Structure 1
Amino acid sequence: MKILHVDYDRLRSYGAIRSSWAEKMRFGFIRNNHYVRSFSDRDVAAFEAPFGLRALGEKAANKRLLEVVEGNEPDLIVIGHTDIITVDTLKLIRQRRPDCLLIHCNCDPLFVPDNSKRIAAFASVVDAVFVTTGLRDLRRFDGLGARLYYIPNPVEPTVEVLDNSVKTDLPIDLLFCSNATKFTKRLEMVKSIKDAVDDEMNFKTYGSFGEAPVWGPDYDLVLSKTRMALNLNRQEGDHWYTSDRMSQLGGNGVLQFAHSSGGFDEYVPPETLVYFDDEQDLIANIRDFHHDDAKRQHWAARARAFFHSELNSSLYSRYIIEATLAQPFSYDYVWARNINPDGSDKL
C-alpha cells in the first residue's frame, strides 16, 4: 500500500526533539512492507511563506498537499496532528481520488477543547479515526461519519533501547518530566510528593520547580539513569488515555506509577504498572518500591517485555491498516479485544 502521512516532522529542530509517536507509526508501516511518504505541514507552510512566517504559508501548504497527492497517488492518507490542513482540502482529495482512504490518528487528550474540535471536524470527512483514548469516551463522536478506534502509544524497538530493569546503579530514584501547565493541577500532587520523599531519594522534576526541561539526547540520558517515574496525565479518568510517556517508560524498563482510573489493568497484565488511587496511596507505593529494588526490577522487567511484545510499532501499524480496511484482525491485539474490525463493539 502507498501511504501519505501528514504530520509535523520538526525538520528545523535538527535533532533536538526525540522521536515521536508519528515517526514510530511510519517505522511500523515500513516494517509491514508499505511505502510511506511524509508531508510535514508546518514545515511546508514555513518554507512557502514570506520570511518563513508559517501563518502566511498555510494556504500554500494546502495547495502543496494536493500536488503531492496528485504526484504520488496514495492508497491511504494518514492525517496526524495538523492544524493547517483543512477539511475543505480533504474534501477536494475525496473528489479527485475517490478510491483513496483517509484516516485521522490522534494522540492528544479529549479534555483539550481544540483537540476534540479537531477530531470532530476530521471525523466528518475521513473513513476512520484512531485516538489514544478508550471507546467509552470516544463514543461522543459517534454519528459524525467515521468509524472510531482506540490505539495505544507504541513502543519502537529502535527507539526504546534501554533496559533499566536489569540495572541497579541508577542515580535517579524517581522522575517526572513535563513543562505543560494548561488544563492541569498535577503539579500540586508532584509538589506534595517532592516534599514527602525528597529527604529519602533523588527525585528529579525536569521542567518544573526551577529545573530546566530536557529534550532529545538530554532526555535519553536522563531516562538511562532512572529507576522509577511518575506517569501523571494533565487530567486523570479518561478511559485508557495516557501520553506517550507510558511507552517511553515501559519500553525502557523504567518502573512507572499510573492512576487507577485509566483502566489499564483491563489489558495490561498484573505486576507491570503500579496503580494508585490518591496521593497518599502513591507515596506509599513509591516508598515500597524504593526500599525493595528486586521488586522494582521484577515489575519493570515484566512491563518492558509486555510493551515490546504486544505494544510495538509493527503490531500497532498493522492494526491501523486492518481496521482502516475493516479486515479481520490477523493478531490478538490486546487493546482491541472489545471491538470488531468494523469498529462496532463486541457483545
Structure 2
Amino acid sequence: MRILHIAHQQLRKYGHLRVSWAQKLYFGLIRNGWLVQSFSERDVAAFEAPFGIRDLGHKKANKRLLQTIEAFEPDLIIIGHADIITNETLEQARVLRPGLVIAGCNNDPLFVPVNAEKIRHRCKVVDAMFVSTGERELQQFSGDRARLWHMPNPVDEAIDVYDASSRSALVNDLVFCSKETAHTQRGAVVKYLLDHLPDDFSFLTPGSFGEPGVWGRDYERVLAESKMGLNLNRQEGLHWYSSARMAQLAGNGLLTFTHGSGDFQSLFPEETLVYFNSREELLQKLIEFHRDDAKRRDWAARTRQFFHAHINSNLYASYIVEAAMQRPLSHDYVWHGQHER
C-alpha cells in the first residue's frame, strides 16, 4: 500500500523538535511495511513563498500537494493538523486518484471552539476522522461524509526510550511541562502544589510562572531524570481525552497522575495511572508515593509496560489504516469498542 502522510514534520526546527504524535504515526506506518511519502505542508508553504513568508505560500503548497499525489499515486492519504491544505484540494485529489481513501486525524481538544470547527469542516471531505477524544464525545460531528473513530496518544519504541521506574536516584520528584494558558485554570492547581508540598519534594515546572519551556533533547533529559509526572489537561471531564503529555510521561516510566473524570479507569489496568478528583487528593497522593518509592516504581513500571505493549505507534498506525480502509481489524485494540464490552 502507498500512503501519503500530510503533517507538520518540523523540518525548520533542525533537530530541536517537539514530541509529535504525527511523527510517531509516521514511524509506525513505516514499521508496518507500508510505503510512506511525507508532505510537510507548513514547511512546503514556507519554502515556496516569497522571502520565506509562510502565509504567502498557501496556494503553492496546495498545488505542490496535487503534484505529489499525481507523482506518488497513493492509495490512502492521512492528513493531520494541516490547515493550509483546503478541502477543495482534497476533492481534486480524488479526481486524480479515483478510489483514493482520505483519513483525517485531529489530536487537539474539543473544548477549543476553533478546533471543533476544524474537525467539523474536515469531516465534510474525509472518509474517516480520528480524534483523540473518546467516541462518546464525537457524535456532534456525525452526519457528514466521515466515519468517526477515537484514536489514543501512543508511545513509540524509538522515542519513549527512558524508564524512570527502574531507578530511585533521580533529580526531580515531580515534573509538569506546559505552555498553554487559554481555556484553563490549571495554573492554580500547580501553584497550590508548590505552596503545599513538603520542603524535601522537588517539583519542576518548565513553561509556568515565567520559567522557560523545554523542548527537544532538553525535554528528553527532564523526563529521564524525573520520578513522577503531572498530566493536567487544560480542561478535564471529556471521555478518554488527554494531552499527548500522558503518553510521554508514562511511556518513559514516570508515575503519571491524571484527573479521574476522563474515565481512563475503564481503559487502563488497576495500579497503573494515579487518579485524583481534587487538588487536595492530588497533594495527598503525591506525598504518599513520594514516601513509598517502591510503590512508585511498581505502578510506573506497570503503566509503562501497558503503554508499550498495547498503545504503541505500530498498533496505532495499523488501526488507523485498517479503520480508514474499512478492513477487518487485525488486533483487539484496547481502545476500540470499549463501550460494547
Which residue of the partner structure matches residue 331 of structure 1? 331
Q: Contact 1:137–1:238 at 8 Å: present in 2 too? A: yes
1: CA distance, partners of 2:263 / 2:334: 13
Most deviating of 75-84 and 87-96: 87-96
Matches within 5 A, 1:172-321: 172-197=172-197, 199-321=199-321
Most deviating of 330-339 and 152-161: 330-339
2: CA distance, partners of 1:155 / 1:240: 16
Q: Could you say what secondary structure the match of 2:338 adopts?
A: coil
2: CA distance, partners of 1:78 / 1:321: 9
Q: Contact 1:76–1:101 at 8 Å: present in 2 too? A: yes
Per-residue displacement from partner, 1:95-118 (whole Å, max 9, x unpaired)? 222211001011111111111111
Per-residue displacement from partner, 1:247-274 (whole Å, max 9, x unpaired)? 1111110001000010111111111100
1: CA distance, partners of 2:321 / 2:6: 16
| Matched residue type, 1:264 | F
Q: Contact 1:156–1:313 at 8 Å: present in 2 too? A: yes
Which residue of the partner structure matches residue 64 of structure 1? 64
1: CA distance, partners of 2:267 / 2:205: 29
| Shift, 1:198, TM fit | 5.3
| Matched residue type, 1:200 | D
Which residue of the partner structure matches residue 25 of structure 1? 25
Matches within 5 A, 1:45-56: 45-56=45-56
Q: Could you say what secondary structure the match of 1:250 adopts?
A: helix
Which residue of the partner structure matches residue 156 of structure 1? 156
1: CA distance, partners of 2:319 / 2:99: 20
- Moved segments of 4+, more than 4 Å: none
Q: Contact 1:250–1:307 at 8 Å: present in 2 too? A: yes
Q: Could you say what secondary structure the match of 1:334 adopts?
A: coil
| Matched residue type, 2:117 | K
Q: Could you say what secondary structure the match of 1:286 adopts?
A: helix
Q: Could you say what secondary structure the match of 1:37 adopts?
A: strand
Which residue of the partner structure matches residue 142 of structure 2? 142
Most deviating of 78-87 and 196-205: 196-205
Query: Which structure 2 segments of 5+ residues have no match?
Result: none
| Matched residue type, 2:285 | N
| Shift, 1:125, TM fit | 0.6
Aligned residues: 341
Q: Could you say what secondary structure the match of 1:336 adopts?
A: coil
CA RMSD of superposed structures (Å): 1.1
2: CA distance, partners of 1:309 / 1:14: 31
| Shift, 1:148, TM fit | 0.5
Q: Could you say what secondary structure the match of 1:103 adopts?
A: strand
| Shift, 1:18, TM fit | 3.4
Matches within 5 A, 1:7-156: 7-156=7-156
| Shift, 1:83, TM fit | 1.4
| Shift, 1:302, TM fit | 0.2
| Shift, 1:329, TM fit | 1.5
Which residue of the partner structure matches residue 342 of structure 1? none
2: CA distance, partners of 1:61 / 1:327: 31
TM-score by length of 1: 0.96
Q: Contact 1:120–1:141 at 8 Å: present in 2 too? A: yes
Most deviating of 56-65 and 14-23: 14-23
Which residue of the partner structure matches residue 4 of structure 1? 4
2: CA distance, partners of 1:177 / 1:12: 23
| Matched residue type, 2:258 | A
Q: Contact 1:175–1:204 at 8 Å: present in 2 too? A: yes
Q: Contact 1:3–1:34 at 8 Å: present in 2 too? A: yes
| Shift, 1:147, TM fit | 0.4
TM-score by length of 2: 0.98
1: CA distance, partners of 2:158 / 2:19: 10
Q: 1:94 to 1:250 in 2, by over 3 A?
A: same
Q: Contact 1:18–1:217 at 8 Å: present in 2 too? A: no
| Matched residue type, 2:239 | H
Q: Contact 1:229–1:255 at 8 Å: present in 2 too? A: yes
2: CA distance, partners of 1:28 / 1:300: 24
| Matched residue type, 1:171 | V
Per-residue displacement from partner, 1:97-142 (whole Å, max 9, x unpaired)? 2211001011111111111111111111110000100011111101
Q: Could you say what secondary structure the match of 1:130 adopts?
A: strand
